[in-house]
Amino acid sequence: MANLEVRVGDLCLRNPVMPASGCFAIEHSEAVDFGKLGALVVKSVSPKCRAGNPTPRVAETPSGMLNSIGIPSKGLDYYRSKVLPAYTEFGTPVVVSISADTVDEFAQAVSTMSLPEVAVIEANISCPNLEADGMAFAMDVDTTYKVVSAIRRSTHHPFWVKLTPNASHVGVIAKAAEEAGADAIVMGNTVLGMSIDVHTRKPTLGNVMGGLSGPAIKPIAVRMVHQCYRSVRIPVIGCGGISTSEDVVEFMLAGASAVQVGTASFIDPGIMQKIIDGLHDLCRQLDVEDIHTLTGQVKLDRQLSDRWLRFAQQSG
Ligand SMILES: Cc1cc2nc3c(=O)[nH]c(=O)nc-3n(C[C@H](O)[C@H](O)[C@H](O)COP(=O)(O)O)c2cc1C
């Protein structure tokens, strides 16, 4: 059996596979043994109570889905007393994902949720920044630096920063997050998209635009994980379209230390268990004894890759 253990900073995970925030709920325990996952990442919570976006909130697309759920929330007290306890009994590190509207709100929410039963905070800075006309924090280097520094000052807990693939210069954004004190980068959230029903001529989502996820975005996510890996020294967690063990290895070769599985769990709630089981077989086939040794091992013509990486870091 291959050793599937990986490290994300100081945190040791029994394997690199964890759910992506918002694509996983306590009901998944009927299909997956939570004690066998690398970590448990919970749906983002925001400090303000919110109803979420207008319906319909999801729409199917070729090789993916569009969603515009918003972050429906009953606030941090409700989350702490009613949502979190269900996840803390499996001996698996719990990752609490936080979204907020402003820098101060983010810092306060992270401070409040830095609880002993929480292993890691994931700051979902792909959400709208109400101090910048609703543009996501992670679209811009300065706002990324500002919000991540404020979060760093507010907690001693490890925290990961989840970026948006909608920024073209993700390597620079990841570097700003690292310099501001992030412990790891999660690359990344959904790609902004839109679809229209030709019969009604209306957008299929109530909120008009939404986030595209699933296999359709996988090559974008692999490219961005590699750009982040080449730009920072902190670990990168890959996310976007993962549905097989091969996908996990591909993301690790690109530079991921661990991965998150989102949309695939809607199609098959037991998919993460199958991916983990498949990793043992795949590592045997690939002659890999320790899965962590795969991180960043894509074979590249260094000169060529340095050239396009410089280009990618300048664009945007
Ligand atoms: C229905 C749905 C809800 C989501 N909710 C959240 C969320 O609350 N917080 C967050 O950071 N990302 C959220 N995401 C984004 C996912 O965590 C993930 O980053 C994205 O879907 C790409 O991964 P995938 O292609 O494997 O789904 C959501 C995605 C979907 C499809």
State which fold the 6-314 domain adopts: TIM Barrel (3.20.20)
Domain ranges of the chain: 6-314
SS3 content of the chain, % helix, strand, coil (to 5): 40, 20, 40
Asked about 228 being catalytic, the answer comes back as no
Residue nearest to atom 4 of ligand 1 (CA): 22
- What spacing in Å lies between the alpha carbon of 187 and ligand 1's midpoint? 11
Q: What is the pTM for the complete model shown?
A: 0.97
Tens of pLDDT, residue by residue over 127-185, are 887 888 789 999 999 999 999 999 999 999 999 999 999 998 999 999 999 999 999 99
- What spacing in Å lies between the alpha carbon of 67 and ligand 1's midpoint? 8
Residue 314 — pLDDT band, cuts 50, 70, 90? Answer: low
Tens of pLDDT, residue by residue over 234-248, are 999 999 999 999 999
- If one residue of 23, 161, 272 were mutated to test the ligand 1 pocket, choosing by the most ligand atoms within 8 A of its CB, it would be 23
Q: Which atom of ligand 1 is nearest to the CA of 186?
A: 19
Tens of pLDDT, residue by residue over 48-84, are 998 889 999 999 999 999 999 988 899 999 999 999 9
Q: Which atom of ligand 1 is nearest to the CA of 57?
A: 1
Residue 316 — pLDDT band, cuts 50, 70, 90? Answer: very low
Residue nearest to atom 15 of ligand 1 (CA): 189
- What spacing in Å lies between the alpha carbon of 262 and ligand 1's midpoint? 6
Q: What's the burial of 120, exposed, middle or buried (CB within 10 Å: 0-12/13-18/19+)?
A: buried
